[in-house]
Structure 1
Amino acid sequence: MTEHSPLIIDVAGTALTAADRARLAHPLVGGVILFARNWQDRAQLLQLTASIKAVRADLLICVDHEGGRVQRFKTDGFTHIPPMRAFGELWLDDGQGRAYREGSGALRAMDAATAAGYVLGAELRACGVDFSFTPVLDLDYGVSGVIGDRAFARDPRVVTLLARALMQGLLQAGMAHCGKHFPGHGFVQADSHTEIPVDRRSFSAILHDDAAPYGWLSSSLQSVMPAHVIYPQVDSRPAGFSARWLQDILRGQLRFDGAIFSDDLSMEGARRIDGRTVSYTDAAVAALQAGCDLVLLCNQSLGEGHEVDALIGGLAQAQSQGRWQPSARSEERRLALLPETLPLAWDELMVHGAYMRALDLLP
């Protein structure tokens, strides 16, 4: 019996099909990632998440729900969370005139970030979602269109403290978190969804700036997602397929022991490894061999979903051939991301004191 369920896949619509249920029941599948196409309203989302859990209670239901332009559910009562840059800007606002007080902006920003994490997590959990891929730990160098206002700030110290505050809010809502995109995506202009970004800076520069939040948060981060970026001064492979980055640096040097997710294997940055285009199965095996605990394949269930089926079958074959072996430790890390408390129901949440106060603190 498989002791490790590393695949996070998607489903096509607002309700499960028979094909979805068959895929989710496969022992190699450990979770689902939802998108805006899976959303109609809160009642439908709650029914969808309940139907996923009915297939297997241990499936991790995930979503990219950061705030700003990366927020999958925005209607039927969901709060519009500001982009993370708004908290970085609040950090710098110490007031004017008699209201000026040095450092007050930083403290207000941290309180607001905690409130945002709580609102984000509590609303998702009220609809049956377990986990959101947030916070973004990338630095805002002002050059990356794909990161942009998703980043808190340019200063890694500010990013670290605001991310820690957001993580605290998520934990108050009973939701785990994921720092991304290790060691940093903010310095490169190219979008790894459509290109293969290359960051040619030295290892010391990357470690001192971009990767610094991962070291400072290593005792509190619950999961990390590496970037589909190549850092040729360190390794010729993108970070998510690099044992040097994931095992030697992230786990060894920075002493991180939580779960590591690959970024979406369907992105262009994941399809070319060592100069050649590879299959989703080969990409998944490479990510797992490099040190990922979990791998994502997004937006491939549309239509007949042949690519999802091919990945499930291909990984099973790779296991039987000895190209990949399940990891009990990786499975422990996956299960640790599941909520341990019952969520507040939506109507109860709407009148909950901590929730109402959190709404008032959002910028």
Structure 2
Amino acid sequence: MGPGQVMLDLVGIELSEMEREMLCHPQTGGVILFSRNYESPEQLSALVAAIHAARDPHLLVAVDHEGGRVQRFRDGFTRLPPAAALGAVYDQDAAQGRTLAEQAGWLMAAELRAVGVDFSFAPVLDLNHGLSGVIGDRAFHHEPHAVGALAQAYIRGMRDAGMAAVGKHFPGHGGVREDSHLTLPRDDRTLERILDTDILPFELLSDGVLAGVMPAHVRYTQVDEMPAGFSRYWLGEILRGRLGFQGAIFSDDLSMAGAEFIGDYPARAGAALEAGCDMVLVCNHPEGAAAVLDTFAAHDDPVARVRLTRFHGHGSVAGLGRLRQQARWREAHRALTVLGEAEPELNV
């Protein structure tokens, strides 16, 4: 049997007995790590190995490791630049911008794979409309074709390192001021406007380039009253139908304020799965996660399980020390270190 459809988080730097039991639940499919789960590369390798050892085939281990403000593991890892820094280079020299984006994708993925992490929820495909503080410099650019070009190069680097890519936040979080961690944002633009702008990067990358997509906890009022992550229209008719996307769909965290109006945690998970999500994330709320696991213990979606198997990482898990001996690592590290300096972390 493949992975289940629920992704959980952990409290600390090693597994507790209760967490080990939850990992063995048939509906558990993966674990997402945060900064609180990291102490050192050696500790992280041991934690990931313990998670992988809990099940066969092993559970997926994921992290938000974009660079800039959103990089969960710092000391011992390369300080990666925010995506906007790559966009700034692209504006001056498009070829150099794409080269750096490919190096950034490879370096991010290679360092995570070296300690066993299967994948990062990256890249961000949102447009920087100058409105959203929570997106901001996490976006490559304000122009959709520039985002598409940079993201394609970034994903090529990820693939070279053995990692599948997840584009977020479909159909675009950059057009609202509100932060969906704190409230349910409202985007009043028409479908035609969104299709002409924010959706273009997803459309450019949907044909076999992206292995996964994460929808936004945003309500696009002129299109559907349900937020995108709970919307059959956005996920079924637009993403699967119009864009022809065949990869996996991951919900954004169901503990975010943008999901609260749906109801309790099982209601949120049920609505996301019914809308078309293949895996739901339940973070920072162990009781809610346990309730979701119990409610959906008998739920099975063979197609979703097949889609999710693509996210098992490939390639070396030989440790960061051995990786740093490679000329490719030294070149990418040197090129990207300056761009990644002096960027404070934001817990988003």
TM over 0.5: yes
CA separation in 1, counterparts of 2:54 and 2:3? 17
Structure-1 residue corresponding to 2:288: 307
Structure-1 residue corresponding to 2:343: none
Structure-2 residue corresponding to 1:89: 88
Q: Matched residue of 1:192: which SS?
A: coil
Instruction: Find out whether 1:37 has 2:36 as its counterpart.
Output: yes
CA positional deviation for 1:358:
1.5
Structure-2 residue corresponding to 1:223: 212
What letter corresponds to residue 276 of structure 2 in structure 1?
A: G
CA separation in 2, counterparts of 1:284 and 1:308? 10
What CA deviation, in whole Å up to 9, does each residue of 1:161-192 have, x standing for no partner?
Answer: 10111111111110111000000000100000
Instruction: Find out whether 1:232 has 2:221 as its counterpart.
Output: yes
Cα pair 1:111 1:361 within 8 Å, conserved: no
CA positional deviation for 1:84:
0.3
CA positional deviation for 1:127:
1.2
What CA deviation, in whole Å up to 9, does each residue of 1:219-251 have, x standing for no partner?
Answer: 211000000000011110000000000010000
Question: Aligned pair count?
Answer: 335
Cα pair 2:254 2:281 within 8 Å, conserved: yes
Cα pair 1:3 1:327 within 8 Å, conserved: no
Instruction: Find out whether 1:254 has 2:274 as its counterpart.
Output: no
Cα pair 2:114 2:316 within 8 Å, conserved: no
Range that drifts further, 331-340 or 177-186: 331-340
Structure-2 residue corresponding to 1:5: 4
Structure-1 residue corresponding to 2:275: 290
Structure-2 residue corresponding to 1:182: 170
Instruction: Give 5+ residue unaligned stretches, structure 2.
Output: 340-348
Cα pair 2:282 2:288 within 8 Å, conserved: no
Range that drifts further, 154-163 or 2-11: 2-11
**Alpha carbon RMSD of aligned pairs, Å?**
1.2
CA separation in 1, counterparts of 2:311 and 2:332? 24
Q: Matched residue of 1:224: which SS?
A: strand
Q: Matched residue of 1:92: which SS?
A: helix
CA separation in 2, counterparts of 1:346 and 1:143? 38
What letter corresponds to residue 261 of structure 1 in structure 2?
A: F
Q: Matched residue of 1:78: which SS?
A: coil
Cα pair 1:239 1:246 within 8 Å, conserved: yes
CA separation in 2, counterparts of 1:143 and 1:185? 10
Structure 2 counterpart of 1:269, from 236, 258, 264: 258
CA separation in 1, counterparts of 2:13 and 2:268? 28
CA separation in 2, counterparts of 1:244 and 1:177? 23
Cα pair 2:117 2:313 within 8 Å, conserved: no
Cα pair 2:3 2:59 within 8 Å, conserved: no
CA positional deviation for 1:3:
6.2
Cα pair 2:109 2:162 within 8 Å, conserved: yes
Q: Matched residue of 2:334: which SS?
A: helix
What letter corresponds to residue 243 of structure 2 in structure 1?
A: L
CA separation in 2, counterparts of 1:240 and 1:222? 17
Structure 2 counterpart of 1:118, from 88, 92, 106: 106
What CA deviation, in whole Å up to 9, does each residue of 1:317-345 have, x standing for no partner?
Answer: xx4xxxxx421110001111112333343
What letter corresponds to residue 289 of structure 2 in structure 1?
A: V
CA separation in 2, counterparts of 1:133 and 1:4? 18
Structure-2 residue corresponding to 1:157: 145
CA positional deviation for 1:357:
1.6
What letter corresponds to residue 59 of structure 2 in structure 1?
A: L
Instruction: Give 5+ residue unaligned stretches, structure 1.
Output: 94-104, 320-324
Q: Matched residue of 2:252: which SS?
A: strand
CA separation in 2, counterparts of 1:344 and 1:91? 33
Aligned-residue identity in percent: 47
Structure-2 residue corresponding to 1:98: none
CA separation in 1, counterparts of 2:310 and 2:44? 23
What letter corresponds to residue 234 of structure 1 in structure 2?
A: V
Q: Matched residue of 2:31: which SS?
A: strand
CA separation in 1, counterparts of 2:155 and 2:2? 29
